[in-house]
Structure 1
């Protein structure tokens, strides 16, 4: 508790805490490796204190500050100069549950986040800000394919693996002309805060330099419910704006994202696997 007490002292000296009754609650860190606390003022959750590897704190801080005008992201209250921790506003609600319809919460994501991403200079490498940088987006996809293939193994037939490998090669033609964007990088329901069946916040970025389509398809595939063409196409029409992106490519990107999602499920979300398998049986019909 010595470290957290020092953080409280810093916040008090910065004027973020006044004469309030202060209480701390350790949070379940979920999919993040860091240590999280909710800081309550007069019994009301006010801030989140996140302690983690300095590289993670630094990239989180940079992303939140770059997009500080976006309402669904938390506001940075204080960032440690050595990047040992960050303090940001608490967003009331719960992740995963009581989401409402996918059409509704993805519409909010598109309007409040996905259409507001910044383009990045071409000199910047593709890939995770904190990961291995790639010279092309296709390199990133190839690694994702290899990891998913290893996880899935015999769970899917060899024919499906072969078709996905061909799809990755087909998508390469689009990616060679792709513009780079500064993305959240982990836009799944585990990082979406819902309140009263409405999406109200997006937390825990894993910043990524990638094409705009990535976060869109990642979010769409992050839960197996309503993963159908009837839900996808209206969202695509809302998202695409003036982007010259065809339905054929969109469907290809969704299928590849779904494939990698199945690989993730086998490793860390086995409870969702049967639902995704049913979805896969429908989407694989679009593979040529």
Structure 2
């Protein structure tokens, strides 16, 4: 959709004071187009265009968790879900300084994930355009995708171990709307390295620990049990019942190794070392 038409619509809806605005292109996802609406030299709003199903679920995520301060505030959603508008989160995006990961995870658990809300039982697990009846089926799908990428980077017995581990997960009937892409690349930091914002959700319906482990595995530093345990404990028994943390982390690390091979091969040695560490803990 032409951006000028969007600006005109936002002006007519009373979102913008004028339909003539200074814009600044921002880096979007694989399918989204993102621009900032400037207030002088400072970004004020973000306009994101994407597939309507993705816009609808991202708007739902921001609306559902409007009370979470680290998330942007939803300002406007197009009635046809062609685009949405949300407030710009000031700070340094994606510049993780590898400080204290345990503190970062604890902040995420306390200020974000602990505030997730359960969904009605009729909702399916997974992404809106690829739903699953069971959470385990979504994870098995991700496991198969990851195996095709990892191939002989890991021995076949490791692939079989992960497949058996995921297939043997007990049903927990927990459905929450998750960020889905809760990694350091989507974190906004202040100059002193403090986490101030989280951007670009790719919402998934699933279990809250998935987001915490995603964040934990999204950088190759401090991938130890001691770094994630305090945050996992902070989520409380209602969000972590029946979990075996070692096995859950091993699943998330398997998915991350596949992402590493595709996008960050320079980190593979560190992830390989972490894999050995967690595999020994999970067996």
Q: TM-score surpassing 0.5?
A: yes
Aligned match of 2:227 in 222, 227, 231? 231
1:274: how far off?
2.2
Contact 2:7 2:21 in 1 (8 A): no
Distance between the aligned counterparts of 1:21 and 1:42, measured in 2? Answer: 13
Q: Are the equivalent residues in 2 in contact too, given 1:21–1:43 (CA < 8 A)? A: no
Question: Structure 1 pair 21/195, CA: closer, same or farther in 2 (3 Å)?
Answer: farther
Work out which of the residue numbers 267, 271, 274 in structure 1 matches 2:266.
271
SS of 1:159's equivalent in the other structure is helix
Counterpart in the other structure of 2:105: 106
CA 1:151–1:287: 2 relative to 1, 3 Å: same
Gaps of 5+ in 1: none
Give the drift of 1:25: 1.0
Once the two structures are superposed, the pairs formed by residues 105-144 of structure 1 within 5 Å of their partners are: 105-129=104-128, 131-144=129-142
How many residues align structurally?
A: 281
After superposition, where does 1:275-286 map in structure 2 within 5 Å? 275-286=270-281
Asked if the contact 1:21–1:42 (Cα under 8 Å) also holds between the matched residues in 2, the reply is: no
Q: Cα offset for 1:133?
A: 1.4
Match of 2:17 in 1: 18
Q: Please report how far the alpha carbon of residue 249 of structure 1 lies from its aligned counterpart in structure 2 after TM superposition.
A: 0.7
Q: Equivalent residues in 2 for 1:156-175 (5 A)?
A: 156-170=154-168, 172-173=169-170
SS at match of 1:187: coil
Q: Which residue of 34, 37, 44 corresponds with 2:35? A: 37
Distance across 2 between alignment mates of 1:34 and 1:114: 25
Aligned twin of 1:70: 68
- By how many angstroms is 1:71 displaced? 0.9
Deviations 1:161-217 (A, max 9, x none): 1221222233x22xx133211211111112221222011111121221111211111
Matched, 1:262 2:257: yes
**Counterpart selection for 1:86 from 84, 87, 98:** 84
Equivalence map 1:161-200=2 (5 Å): 161-170=159-168, 172-173=169-170, 176-196=171-191, 197-200=193-196
**Cα 1:159–1:190 shift into 2, 3 Å:** same
Segments of 4+ in structure 1 off by > 6 A?
none
Q: 1:145 aligns with which of 143, 146, 170?
A: 143
Compute the RMSD of aligned alpha carbons.
2.1
